[in-house]
Structure 1
Amino acid sequence: SRPRVSNDNPFSEALFKTVKYAPTFPERFATLADARAWMEDFTDWYNHEHHHAGIGLHTPADVHHHRTAHVQQARRRAIEQARQAHPERFAAEPALPKVLDLPTSAWINRPDDPAQAEHSSAA
């Protein structure tokens, strides 16, 4: 909500919102140990089960471990099998639905100058 503010990280803010609105987030934790245990379970779910729209509906673990190509290939096969089994459920255009691509980069404050952006991402 505050563009170009150096002490506001949209990635951590998005994670905080995901934590806060998780269905299992309690109103209160009884102890610090309970909070730590909940956060450990949440982190495992977030990294290995939660499919993130910003990374092509992959899990962070799939991206980190370079499994996205395999997952995308499996998704394409599943879509094609479903299309062949039930063509009436799909639009005439064969490109729909499509498997989402991964972003090529992520920015907090992307430079306005494309040359700066290219130089910064190479560093």
Structure 2
Amino acid sequence: NKQVKERRRLARHPARAIPELVATGPGQVYTWDITKLPGPVKGKYFDAYVMIDIYSRYIVGVKVHPAESAVLAAEMMRETFSIHGTPQVVHGDRGTSMTSKTIAALLSDLEVTKSHSRPRVSNDNPYSESWFKTLKFAPVFPERFGNLGDARRFMNTFVEGYNHSHRHTGIGLNTPADVYYGLAAGKAAERTATLATARARNPERFSTNLDPKILATPDAAWINKPPATIQAELAA
């Protein structure tokens, strides 16, 4: 009976709810993931634990360890929260550490909502996935790391540069640090004033009478924005 088989299939593989998360400011929603860094020889890897504030794209936590461990992940979270504050939501995929009892207990104790991607749906954790691509496709990313210390130094330096120097198109060409620390609006006003002064002094250098467009910081950052919200925004 096809209906019976279908019910059995659904019982074994129940549909997972689509995670729908929104941050309207820094410190509300963090995503995290773990990626492999190539070690000194083939088959040897180090594990980089990275936590991101989705509104600003600011890397709030980064650690590199010889292996993946829920205990080490929990230590990274505690340190991150002690520095940047405790978020409302922490989102991750369904990896072993992400779904561990250790992480679940920590977030429960801190009254943080725990969110997960659906199985095998990478788009449910887009901020972490995108950042890992930025990392590994960077010209400075090495073919291999000589040792754990090299990997740690590289990651710390890369994250520092990304947070404070990388101008991200998703946040109005601001740096993650400027958005995270609330400096973006002031710097946008400074750029507007600078452009106005330049136009007044040398109008012939500008091809139109319109001021150059300065990208705005988005009002919200989403994971899986609901279709109804998208339609409402288009209609507005």
TM-score category, normalised to shorter length: 0.7 to 0.9
Of 145, 149, 152, which aligns to 1:33? 149
More strand by share: 2
The CA deviation string for residues 52-86 of structure 1, in whole angstroms up to 9 with x for no partner, is: 11101111111111111210011112211222233
Q: Secondary structure at the match of 2:133?
A: helix
Shift of 1:91: 2.4
Q: Is 2:205 the counterpart of 1:86?
A: no
Q: Is 2:183 the counterpart of 1:67?
A: yes
Distance 1:65 1:87, change over 3 A: same
Q: How many residues align?
A: 112
RMSD: 2.1
Whole-Å separation in 2 of the counterparts to 1:86 and 1:16: 43
Aligned position for 2:132: 16
Of 45, 53, 57, which aligns to 2:173? 57
Shift of 1:15: 0.3
Shift of 1:98: 1.4
Of 219, 225, 231, which aligns to 1:104? 219
Instruction: Read off the aligned partner of 2:205 and give its amino acid letter.
Output: R
The structure that has the greater radius of gyration is 2
Q: Which consecutive residues of structure 1, in runs of 5 or more, have no partner in the other structure?
A: 118-123
TM-score (norm 1): 0.81
Fraction of identical pairs, as percent: 48
TM-score (norm 2): 0.44
Instruction: Read off the aligned partner of 2:126 and give its amino acid letter.
Output: P
Whole-Å separation in 2 of the counterparts to 1:87 and 1:27: 49
Q: Secondary structure at the match of 1:58?
A: coil
The CA deviation string for residues 3-37 of structure 1, in whole angstroms up to 9 with x for no partner, is: x7734211111101110122211111111110111
Aligned position for 2:30: none
Shift of 1:94: 2.0
Q: Which consecutive residues of structure 2, in runs of 5 or more, have no partner in the other structure?
A: 1-17, 19-116
More helix by share: 1
Q: Secondary structure at the match of 2:219?
A: coil
